[in-house]
Structure 1
Amino acid sequence: MKNIQNSKSMKSPILIAFIFGVFSYMYGQNQPNIVFILSDDAGYADFGFQGSKEFKTPHLDALAKSGVKFTQAYVSAAVCGPSRAGILTGKYQQRFGYEENNVPGYMSASGIIGDEMGLPLDQKLISEYLQEQGYKTALFGKWHMGNADRFHPTKRGFDTFYGFRGGARSYYEFDENNKSSRKEDRMERGFGNFEESELYLTDALANETIQFIEENKAQPFFVYLSFNAVHTPMEAHPDDLKKFPNLEGKRKTLAAMTLALDRACGKVIDKLDELGLRENTIIVFTNDNGGPSDTNASLNKPLGGTKANHLEGGIRVPFLMALPKNKQKNTTYQYPISTLDLFATFYNIAGGNEKQITGLDGVNLLPYVTGENKLRPHETLYWKKEVRGAIRHLDWKLIRYPDRPAELYNLAEDEAEINNLATTHPDIVNDLYKQFFEWEVSLERPLWMLKHKYEKAAIERLDKYKN
């Protein structure tokens, strides 16, 4: 009898541990995985699902058919760094002094400069919130939120980091013929351990993501796959270039780089399918700002404008969302949304209550895309870069310039922003000016500023690619 009792007492902890493990696994599996894929400087029209006949994007086209395509998705900034800061915080980045200027960049001597520039440490990122929800978190690729160690991804809620700290770098490893002295260009695994990859970088980022998914398949995970593709330098894999014999110059190189981007996305999605995780994963694909047509030959048609300005071509981006269990398959959502909404959406799907987080400007998109809420997610959206700014209220959009009168467009009738209605609707101009100013005065002063000569270059780019 004594031996039997001892046997039972020995088994009880094992049984309890087993039961706890089963419940932990089941709970983990009920929390959807989150795969967020962000491309860099892609053109609005440069994907098959956006209507391109020149570029080949079969995997992203398939993703569009498996989920929701948003026709009016906006970023919170027309350049890379601020846009990403808005995504990670769920707030207009100007609220904490992160004006629409990259870090580090071509900044004036006033304010914070160089490696002192970064996403302020008093801002809590979505990666940190998801860690608290029990998620394993990873960032693969471009960071661009500050080069100093204190801004490092592994200190901002990411368990795993494989990428580079800066805003752009070569797609090939550095050697005697391909050099860079900047620390932020170096590939890094974890913290402070710089490594190079022999692979074309876009493929290498996909491979690292796949490995992370395999290693964490039994628990909820958040992947931020932050491509530098198709940002300059214009470097395509030779095998990909051969696929576009009818294109030339930058346009051919961009098509090949986009093909590699699509292939990398396909590898990650295929791995989710292979492991049986797709049904319990939300996948989002979007771009960080409009395409810079002058530097990488991207197309934003039918939208006017480019990266770095507030015309639609600078701030409206391709956006796909595939929900768990194939909900809302092959559908289109037409009301304006913002990449600021990703924070609240991800936090909610992870089991959190986004309404308990103060200061968010984004909203949870789930009730809107499922049809539970038929209202607009946003009646008003804002953009600001020093003197320049824009406001969209319902379908009216006002753009404020430093060197000319403001322009007014009705986007429901004129998404290409060809017909300026400012002189025929002065009352709407006045109302939107006042509304924009009320928002503007609620913001923090910029922590850093752009040199004025670069603002002049931005205006010249706008004029060249306006329509």
Structure 2
Amino acid sequence: MDNIKSNFKVLFYTLFLSFVISPAYADESPPNIVLILSDDHAWYDYGFMGHPVVKTPTLDKLARDGLTFKAGYVPTALCRPSLATIATGYYASTIGITGNTPAFDVYGKKGSAEHNTQREKLISKIDNVDTLPQLLKPKGYVSFQSGKWWEGSYKRGGFDEGMTRGFPKKGGRHGDDGLKIGREGMEPVTSFIDRAVKDKKPFLVWYAPYMPHSPHNPVDRIYKKYKSLDLPESVKKYYAMIEWFDETNATLLNHLEEKGVKNNTIIVYVSDNGWISNPDRLNSFLPRSKQSPSEAGVRTPIIFSWPDKLKPQLRYDLISSIDIVPTLLGAVGVPIPKDMPGLNLMDNMLSETPIDREAIFGEGFAHDIADLDDPEGSLMYRWVIDGDWKLILSYDGKTDKYRKRHTTLTSPQLFHLATDEHEQHNLITQYPEVAAKLAKKIEQWYPLKKRKVIQ
């Protein structure tokens, strides 16, 4: 990978290019950046997306006042690789963080010395790429991590401050102390903002609360709003968790307003992956949501808010979370690594012009990683959306229990999203020429060495 850590190189190019090619909107004081990342949240479960029950007044206002892409996507529908993409701007297969943990049946029992060695090997992959806070540091940014974070401590991710101890600390996993944020108040984040404002430093906040993620145990005052509805208990509690999450965003955004910095703050909202509650079991999800390449797994609204610069817009351009890092770098005048696959959308958003993109791509891997040195070992899916068409291909990589339970996800699938956004009709036999064309694009994007398509 071309972007191996080199703070000196980043500093040199930042200083040089700031005088040569920095965009006009980056000439003023650098904007603050706040990333709001919800966890296990279906793309349609928002007021602004038309849901008849779920209440999300804070995100509704952010979507109304910001630039909202209703057809946003994440490349991978699993939290750790999805968050790794958002933090780095690279696909999971590129950086090697494709699943949540090394497979126990391959790399030793849980808690064993062998498995812990492999956990460290997986975490160490984050050392091979510059994260967003590291890329912003030469520009004078200070950064704070809260909520979900898998790659060791916050320091290992390049954050100046944070909440997560991380492996190998006792109990260090996927956020540990950071998972208190939102559920137990917002003080760590608001205090960091106070310090940054006092010191007159541009700041980056990573707000990735464990919400609406299970356990779905919403506070009673919110749950009471949904309790009487004629819905399964699991669904009512999930909906209440979403409203609770939305309430925490109100605290965060109101604090930015109170400190007088909201107008010059870029706020980005995205979910790490989708979710459909199992009506028969609390804290459990159905097929074709989390961990799947279906729309309910990979689609998410993506919101950009920058009151000083961006006009409110509602758009349906195809965008991906792979675009977030290059867009933010472009906005603040930091050089974008040449091998970064996403697009800098800022110029298109400022000029209100269409995004020049033919297709977006994604990939799916098993929750447990079969081979830390070969992403194909756990490859389950690759997919593409090109115009109105979406093709999902399945592969014979070693998988965990998920696909064994959900065999409906194993055959090639072709959907016409404009007329079937919930993917009810597989058109693979009716339009073989479309499938062949899209399969070729997938192969050009991500050539495989050995895996075979499941027919």
Q: TM-score, normalised by structure 1?
A: 0.75
Q: Paired residue for 2:347?
A: 367
2:297 aligned residue (310, 314, 339): 314
Counterpart of 1:77, as a letter, is: T
Shift of 1:232: 1.3
Shift of 1:419: 2.5
Q: Paired residue for 1:212?
A: 192
Is 1:231 aligned to 2:237, yes or no?
Answer: no
Is 1:284 aligned to 2:248, yes or no?
Answer: no
Q: Paired residue for 2:387?
A: 394
Extract unaligned runs of 5+ from structure 2. 1-25, 109-114, 366-378, 396-406
Shift of 1:318: 2.4
Counterpart of 1:348, as a letter, is: G
2:107 aligned residue (106, 109, 123): 109
Shift of 1:224: 0.8
CA-to-aligned-CA distance 1:247-284 (integer Å, 9 cap, x gap)? 45222222222222111101111011111111101111
Q: Is the CA contact (8 Å cut-off) linking 1:365 and 1:377 kept in structure 2?
A: no
Counterpart of 1:213, as a letter, is: I
CA 1:380/1:59 → structure 2, altered by over 3 Å: closer, same or farther? closer
- Percent pairwise identity: 27
1:244 aligned residue (212, 221, 226): 226
* RMSD (Å), alpha carbons: 3.0
**Residue 344 of structure 2 aligns to a residue in which SS?**
coil
Q: Distance in 1 between matches of 2:284 and 2:345?
A: 29
Q: Distance in 2 between matches of 1:387 and 1:262?
A: 33
Q: Distance in 2 between matches of 1:345 and 1:388?
A: 27
Counterpart of 1:116, as a letter, is: K
CA-to-aligned-CA distance 1:209-256 (integer Å, 9 cap, x gap)? 111111111221011101111111222223322333324522222222
Deviation beyond 6 Å, 4+ runs, structure 1: 297-300
CA 1:253/1:405 → structure 2, altered by over 3 Å: closer, same or farther? closer
CA 1:366/1:342 → structure 2, altered by over 3 Å: closer, same or farther? same
Is 1:293 aligned to 2:277, yes or no?
Answer: yes
Q: Distance in 2 between matches of 1:107 and 1:156?
A: 28
**Residue 279 of structure 1 aligns to a residue in which SS?**
helix
CA 1:164/1:246 → structure 2, altered by over 3 Å: closer, same or farther? farther
Q: Distance in 1 between matches of 2:418 and 2:69?
A: 15
Q: Is the CA contact (8 Å cut-off) linking 1:205 and 1:225 kept in structure 2?
A: no
CA-to-aligned-CA distance 1:69-118 (integer Å, 9 cap, x gap)? 2111000101100101111111112013222x213566633997334322
CA-to-aligned-CA distance 1:395-448 (integer Å, 9 cap, x gap)? 2211113575412122223222222222222222222222222333278x99xx
Q: Paired residue for 1:89?
A: 88
Is 1:122 aligned to 2:122, yes or no?
Answer: no
Shift of 1:373: 4.0
**Residue 398 of structure 1 aligns to a residue in which SS?**
strand
Q: Is the CA contact (8 Å cut-off) linking 2:34 and 2:266 kept in structure 1?
A: yes
Mean CA deviation greater in 364-373 or 341-350: 364-373
Alignment of 1:30-429 (within 5 A): 30-99=29-98, 101-103=99-101, 108-109=106-107, 113-118=118-123, 119-145=125-151, 151-163=152-164, 165=166, 182-184=171-173, 187-188=176-177, 201-204=181-184, 206-217=186-197, 218-247=200-229, 249-294=233-278, 305-325=288-308, 327-329=310-312, 331-354=313-336, 357-371=337-351, 373-377=353-357, 379-385=359-365, 386-402=379-395, 404-429=410-435
**Residue 423 of structure 1 aligns to a residue in which SS?**
coil
Q: Is the CA contact (8 Å cut-off) linking 1:341 and 1:365 kept in structure 2?
A: yes
Counterpart of 2:106, as a letter, is: S
Counterpart of 1:328, as a letter, is: K
**Residue 202 of structure 1 aligns to a residue in which SS?**
coil
**Residue 226 of structure 2 aligns to a residue in which SS?**
coil
Q: Distance in 2 between matches of 1:80 and 1:262?
A: 19
Q: Distance in 1 between matches of 2:205 and 2:175?
A: 21
CA-to-aligned-CA distance 1:142-167 (integer Å, 9 cap, x gap)? 1023xxxxx3221221001114648x
Shift of 1:54: 1.8
Q: Distance in 1 between matches of 2:314 and 2:172?
A: 42
Q: Distance in 2 between matches of 1:201 and 1:292?
A: 24
Counterpart of 1:184, as a letter, is: R
**Residue 233 of structure 1 aligns to a residue in which SS?**
coil
Counterpart of 1:290, as a letter, is: G
Shift of 1:30: 1.3
Q: Is the CA contact (8 Å cut-off) linking 1:408 and 1:420 kept in structure 2?
A: yes
| Count of residue pairs brought into register by the alignment | 385
Q: Paired residue for 1:14?
A: none
Task: Give the structure with higher Rg (CA).
Answer: 1
Q: Distance in 1 between matches of 2:130 and 2:45?
A: 34
Q: Is the CA contact (8 Å cut-off) linking 1:75 and 1:339 kept in structure 2?
A: yes
Mean CA deviation greater in 332-341 or 118-127: 118-127
Q: Is the CA contact (8 Å cut-off) linking 1:398 and 1:408 kept in structure 2?
A: yes
CA 1:287/1:227 → structure 2, altered by over 3 Å: closer, same or farther? same
Q: Paired residue for 1:173?
A: none
CA 1:393/1:138 → structure 2, altered by over 3 Å: closer, same or farther? same
Q: Distance in 2 between matches of 1:28 and 1:371?
A: 17
Mean CA deviation greater in 434-443 or 229-238: 434-443
Extract unaligned runs of 5+ from structure 1. 1-26, 146-150, 167-180, 190-196, 447-467
Q: Is the CA contact (8 Å cut-off) linking 1:164 and 1:185 kept in structure 2?
A: no
